Amino acid sequence: MTGNDVVPEVLWSPSKERVARAAITDFADFVSDRTGRTFDDYAALWDYSTGEPADFWGAIADYFQVRWHEQPTEVLPAVSMPGARWFPGGTLNYAEHALAEPAEPVAGEPAIIAVAEDGREQQLTRADLRRQVGAVQAGLRRLGVGQGDRVVALVPNTVHALVGFLATAALGAVWSSCSPDFGAPSVIDRFTQISPTVLIAVDGYRYGGKAFPVAETVTKLREALPSLAGAVHVPALGTDVPAGMIGWDELTAEAAEPTFTPVPFDAPLWVLYSSGTTGLPKPIVHSVGGILVEHLKSLRLHWDLGRGDRFLWFTTTGWMMWNFLIGGLLVDATVILYDGSPGHPDLMTLWRLAEKHRVTLFGTSAPFVAASQKAGLRPAAELDLSSVTAIGSTGSPLSTSGFRWIRDEVGADIQIASFSGGTDVCTGVVGGAPTVPVWMGEISCRALGAKVESFSPTGEPLIDEVGELVITAPMPSMPVFFWGDEEGTRLRDSYFDEYPGVWRHGDWIRITSRGSCVIEGRSDATLNRGGVRMGTAEFYRVVESLPEVADSLVVDTSTAAGEGDLLLFVVLAPDADPAAVTGSVKKLIRQELSPRHVPGAVVAVPAVPRTLNGKKCEVPVKRILGGMAVDAAVSRDALADPAGFDEFIRVAQESANRSDAAGRGSTG
């Protein structure tokens, strides 16, 4: 795949005043004083951060005044992957940083604003938060939780989740959470791998104006976890405490100030999981110190969050963005937790929330932006969104039309920070910075400390060409291990099998000569037609630019044995004519992409199958169309809508059979 660097429109560019007051500018001055070097622009700072990782990450720790209990002996003894050791000898505690009082607190500013779908709100100061964490910590200690033990939680994005995590981290224990909309087998597949000591679970959750009890899931989960010393009942729906569990009120009955157990820098903080569409989800372990320094760097320097700012990102506790969101406490921002549907009672809900609470950083996903756009929303015309300085988007590539809609309908002065990274590193490796312009349809830069490159199949670095996204130097937030993978075999196979000593991320990326980036989709879902490879993200940008197409999924049925058909599944907008859409789609793809990538069939489906985290299920669908049994190709409990998947597969298989019968020239 090749690309030319035709410079797109600049949507946003920082003013001199914006650059001068940015935290990243202050950090650059701090490093200049340490090193005697001058950093004239972001590119120079990035070169330093990736070329001298030990010096850079040492500067991060010093700049943010990391609270060491024992000082590390050095920063990074050896620049190697896998197995890099960061800050050996150093001990610290994540919760101690999150709960620390700001040096210059803003009077009356809450640390947390928790908002429920029905409009109920709860505000906690940092002192309130400390009291709640201390009480939960005392309760967990009574249940036998100590350093290194695991606490798991089936909870929505509420204060219970945040307080439970911070209390766990304060003890030096390990946290892991799932959203209560996960099916029982999916939760069991995750939590049984780490043998938890305590389970915290709600009795249900509310979404889209409806209540969803999960008592049956909790019962199955308790039966599947023989290691449990205790289980805590959170009455989100108001039910009584089941036999064998204790209530949240009992857990928190003892008033106590939190204490902080110092742990090694590389001690486990939490376990996150791959989406698990096939096989058991990978239990990815991140370290206390690695997450601390990475989130300090990312949230303060890249997102410019700090004292007086308000941080909202729509997420659930089963997505790494929840872990990223609560990191706002580390930089003294007010964190806004929203529990419920972003579309209830309508798609303006989150925008109204941003107005009411004067949100600074509004975080969302590309599908939400697309849904807002296709619904014809005009948030800035109805609301005062002048507090919003940046909009973050992740989960999938933000389309060019999505960029344009944000500029036109939310605010021309807002920085659009599309970023990409994922569960594996619990951060973004490419994203935005307050000192770098935003170009239409592009991610502004590679993140500080993330030596992201685009590699050819033979491992040659590429510029202005699409290649494998790789990371060629270690980052502190890379996994320290997978739980249960004592020899490290599964970790090495996941990231280092393609290019020895180099992290292969699994995405296609194009890095421009300006330093900006475009994610072109998953590299394991490549569209290879007649030797011309293309990422699915590029395909979706074209197809979903049509107003008649609400969503889409493309599958290349080619195998090593030969080229198969290209099938495009579309969710049509209301009143769209399928025949007309087929013609429009094929014409547009021929014009904008290539004749080779015109689909053999365009098939209308009721919905596109996605994982619980919103990612399109391209690879599982391809495997099923290739003859793999459905249950072998995908774990249904990892799907956002397991029932809808059956209908999709029925339509997809019928379409594939028709295409085979008609030959590759089928028009669908």
Beta pairing class for 246-247 and 10-12:
unpaired
The confidence score (pLDDT) of residue 293 equals 98
Stretches where the chain sits below pLDDT 50 are 1-3, 664-668
Q: Rounded distance, CA 473 to CA 195, Å?
A: 33
Closest to 517 measured CA to CA, from 459, 441, 455, 456: 441
Coil/strand/helix, residue 116: strand
Q: Report how far apart, in Å, the C-alpha atoms of 505 and of each of 263, 292, 481, 501, 502 are.
A: 29, 22, 16, 13, 9
Q: What's residue 156's pLDDT?
A: 97
The pLDDT of residue 632:
77
Token pair recorded at residue 500: 């020895």
Give the count of beta carbons closer than 10 Å to the beta carbon of residue 256: 15
Residue type for position 427: T
Contact 16, 426 (CB under 8 A): no
Residue 321 and residue 363 in contact, taking contact as beta carbons nearer than 8 Å = yes
Q: What is the pLDDT of residue 414?
A: 97
Query: Do 512 and 463 contact (CB within 8 A), yes or no?
Result: yes
Q: Nearest-CA neighbor of 354 among 407, 398, 310?
A: 310
pTM of the model: 0.87
Report pLDDT digits (tens) over 256-293: 999 999 999 999 999 999 865 556 889 999 999 999 99
Token look-up 């000593």 returns 501
Q: What is the pLDDT of residue 276?
A: 56
3-state secondary structure of 497: coil
Q: Strand, coil or helix: what is 631?
A: helix
Q: Which amino acid is at 382?
A: E
Strands 230-234, 246-247: pairing kind: parallel
Tokens of 475: 């980052």
pLDDT of residue 557: 79
Is 553:616 a contact under the CB 8 Å cutoff? yes
Instruction: Determine the pLDDT at residue 533.
Output: 66
